[in-house]
């Protein structure tokens, strides 16, 4: 992945995690506490309880202070092992500690393997607002070992697959078709997860190389996220991020239809519905969603502008486009209608 600061390699392969642990090139490890003693780190470990509640400035400060107590200096190398929560905290901590230390990232959830591990973003919650604070500080290397994902729950697998199809849908019909081909081969056991991951990451690479700092094309990857973040908030984070994004994509499609836009999304809708049918308890969580909290989170999304809401919706002919909705009150009412209808549909 080329970046303004040089770029980094992404390696996908069984055993790459064991190899980096054995290499001894790291001085400190920030790891998801889930792994506990499941691997021998070969360096001091700062465990992170991977919950949304811990993605805060105060928790990040705790990590920075722990790094100092362990003697980490400017020349040290940090290894981060975990999903998106660990990645967000590790990116933030690595970028700030002594104005930045080198780091390597080993993603452990499918969401992180297929999506967040490239792009270099950190997102920290503040004042109860999700992902309000953040920066961009790419790792020196990303090592993806699909074997690590074998212990993931069905929900976590669906969450990763949802972000994966989102990226490919945003790029257009060819990328979507390529993705669904990889997905089918993986589902029926004729291929491993590696080709799917490579196809998705290569698709995402286009967005982050052409727009590293999230000003134009990369913003399109927020498809499903204005709705998705608000669904996470409205369900008290009982619906996980990637699953909320899949529900959010269905809401965005419905919103687009209700506002007279003719995006081409039938294939995506079928795929999202079949993924979401595998998530235990989803219907119950959606039925308990607090629509007032949904509306305020939707309206507070940081992607909106002073001149109205900014939404990413399916575009005619494939892919997505950013639209501006100057009449916020009207748009909010349509958004609430969309999430209500999608929730009812998913509850069967
Ligand atoms: N920085 C970015 O670019 C970016 C992009 C998308 C999402 N995010 C953020 O990522 C977070 C969600 O991350 P996530 O979906 O990767 O999950 P996560 O990091 O929240 O982890 C979810 C759960 O899975 C467990 N887990 C992790 N790896 C496991 C494994 N291999 N086997 C079994 N359990 C495992 C964790 O302990 C945790 O309980 C959200 O906060 C979201 O905002 C960041």
Q: Is the pLDDT of residue 80 over 90?
A: yes
- Reported as a pLDDT band with limits 50, 70 and 90, residue 157 is very high
* pLDDT at site 312: 97
Q: Does ligand 1 come within 6 angstroms of the Cβ of 119? A: yes
Please state the φ and ψ torsions of residue 30, each to the nearest 5 degrees. Answer: -105, 115
Q: Does ligand 1 come within 6 angstroms of the Cβ of 166? A: no
* pLDDT at site 193: 95
User: What are the Cα distances from residue 286, in Å, to 41, 309, 329, 341?
Assistant: 39, 24, 23, 11
Q: Is the CB of residue 145 less than 8 Å from the CB of residue 15?
A: yes
Q: Is the pLDDT of residue 335 over 90?
A: yes
Q: Is the CB of residue 254 less than 8 Å from the CB of residue 338?
A: yes
Measured by CA distance, the residue closest to atom 9 of ligand 1 is: 84
Kindly report the number of other CB atoms within 10 A of residue 205's CB atom.
Answer: 16
* pLDDT at site 260: 93
Q: Does ligand 1 come within 6 angstroms of the Cβ of 152? A: yes
Atom of ligand 1 nearest to the CA of 122: 1
Nearest C-alpha neighbor of 154 from the set 325, 6, 274: 274
Q: Is the CB of residue 104 less than 8 Å from the CB of residue 71?
A: no
Please state the φ and ψ torsions of residue 9, each to the nearest 5 degrees. Answer: -95, 150
pLDDT tens across 171-182, in order? Answer: 999 999 999 999
Distance 83 CA to ligand 1 centre (A): 4
Measured by CA distance, the residue closest to atom 5 of ligand 1 is: 116
- Reported as a pLDDT band with limits 50, 70 and 90, residue 302 is confident
Q: Does ligand 1 come within 6 angstroms of the Cβ of 151? A: yes
Measured by CA distance, the residue closest to atom 19 of ligand 1 is: 83
Structure-block tokens of residue 290: 């607090």
Q: What is the mean pLDDT of residues 187-200?
A: 96
Q: What is the mean pLDDT of residues 168-197?
A: 97
Distance 48 CA to ligand 1 centre (A): 11
* pLDDT at site 129: 83
pLDDT tens across 132-150, in order? Answer: 999 999 999 999 999 999 9
Q: Is the pLDDT of residue 130 over 90?
A: no
- Reported as a pLDDT band with limits 50, 70 and 90, residue 262 is confident
Measured by CA distance, the residue closest to atom 7 of ligand 1 is: 84
Crossing angle of helices 154-171/173-187, nearest 10°?
A: 150
Q: Is the CB of residue 312 less than 8 Å from the CB of residue 248?
A: no
Q: Does ligand 1 come within 6 angstroms of the Cβ of 159? A: yes
Distance 111 CA to ligand 1 centre (A): 7
- Reported as a pLDDT band with limits 50, 70 and 90, residue 106 is very high
Q: Does ligand 1 come within 6 angstroms of the Cβ of 88? A: yes
Percent of the chain with pLDDT over 70: 100
Q: What is the mean pLDDT of residues 179-192?
A: 96
Q: What is the mean pLDDT of residues 290-303?
A: 94
pLDDT tens across 3-50, in order? Answer: 998 999 999 999 999 999 999 999 999 999 999 989 999 999 999 999
Percent of the chain with pLDDT over 90: 94
Measured by CA distance, the residue closest to atom 4 of ligand 1 is: 116
* pLDDT at site 77: 98
Q: Is the pLDDT of residue 264 over 90?
A: no
pLDDT tens across 13-22, in order? Answer: 999 999 999 9
* pLDDT at site 263: 84
What is the average pLDDT score of the chain? 96
Distance 35 CA to ligand 1 centre (A): 13
| Sheet with 102-107: strands ordered across | 9-12, 141-144, 102-107, 77-82, 28-32, 45-48
pLDDT tens across 203-238, in order? Answer: 999 999 999 999 999 999 999 999 999 999 999 999
Distance 334 CA to ligand 1 centre (A): 30
Measured by CA distance, the residue closest to atom 12 of ligand 1 is: 84
Atom of ligand 1 nearest to the CA of 148: 31
Atom of ligand 1 nearest to the CA of 32: 37
- Reported as a pLDDT band with limits 50, 70 and 90, residue 345 is very high
Q: Is the pLDDT of residue 269 over 90?
A: yes
Q: Does ligand 1 come within 6 angstroms of the Cβ of 222? A: no
Q: Is the CB of residue 92 less than 8 Å from the CB of residue 60?
A: yes
* pLDDT at site 231: 97
Kindly report the number of other CB atoms within 10 A of residue 198's CB atom.
Answer: 15
CA 13 to chain centroid = 21
Measured by CA distance, the residue closest to atom 10 of ligand 1 is: 84
Measured by CA distance, the residue closest to atom 6 of ligand 1 is: 116
Q: Is the pLDDT of residue 55 over 90?
A: yes
* pLDDT at site 31: 98
Atom of ligand 1 nearest to the CA of 49: 37
């Amino acid at each position: 992945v080329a970046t303004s600061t040089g770029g980094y390699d992404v390696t996908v392969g069984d055993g790459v995690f064991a190899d980096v642990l054995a290499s001894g090139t790291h001085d400190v490890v920030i790891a998801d506490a889930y792994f506990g003693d499941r691997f021998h780190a070969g360096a001091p470990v700062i465990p992170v309880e991977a919950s949304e509640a811990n993605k805060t400035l105060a928790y990040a400060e705790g990590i920075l202070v722990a790094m100092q107590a362990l003697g980490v200096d400017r020349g040290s190398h940090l290894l981060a092992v975990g999903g998106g929560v660990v990645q967000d905290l590790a990116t933030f901590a690595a970028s700030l500690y002594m104005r930045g230390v080198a780091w390597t990232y080993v993603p452990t959830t499918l969401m992180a393997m297929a999506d967040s591990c490239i792009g270099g973003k950190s997102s920290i919650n503040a004042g109860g607002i999700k992902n309000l604070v953040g920066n961009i500080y790419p790792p020196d290397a990303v090592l993806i070992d699909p074997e690590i994902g074998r212990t993931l729950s069905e929900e976590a697998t669906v969450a990763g697959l949802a972000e994966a199809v989102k990226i490919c849908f945003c790029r257009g019909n060819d990328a979507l078709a390529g993705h669904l081909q990889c997905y089918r081969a993986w589902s029926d056991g004729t291929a491993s997860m590696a080709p799917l991951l490579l196809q998705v990451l290569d698709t995402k690479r286009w967005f982050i190389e052409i727009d590293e700092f999230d000003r134009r094309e990369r913003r399109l990857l927020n498809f499903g996220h204005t709705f998705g973040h608000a669904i996470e908030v409205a369900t008290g984070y009982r619906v996980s991020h990637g699953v909320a994004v899949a529900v959010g994509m269905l809401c965005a499609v419905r919103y687009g239809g209700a506002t007279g836009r003719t995006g081409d999304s039938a294939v995506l809708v079928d795929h999202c519905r079949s993924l979401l049918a595998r998530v235990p308890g989803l219907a119950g969580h959606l039925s308990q969603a607090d629509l007032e909290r949904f509306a305020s989170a939707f309206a507070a999304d940081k992607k909106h502008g002073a001149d109205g809401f900014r939404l990413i919706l399916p575009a005619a002919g494939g892919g997505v486009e950013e639209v501006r909705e100057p009449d916020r009150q009207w748009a909010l009412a349509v958004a609430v209608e969309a999430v209500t209808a999608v929730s009812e549909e998913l509850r069967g």
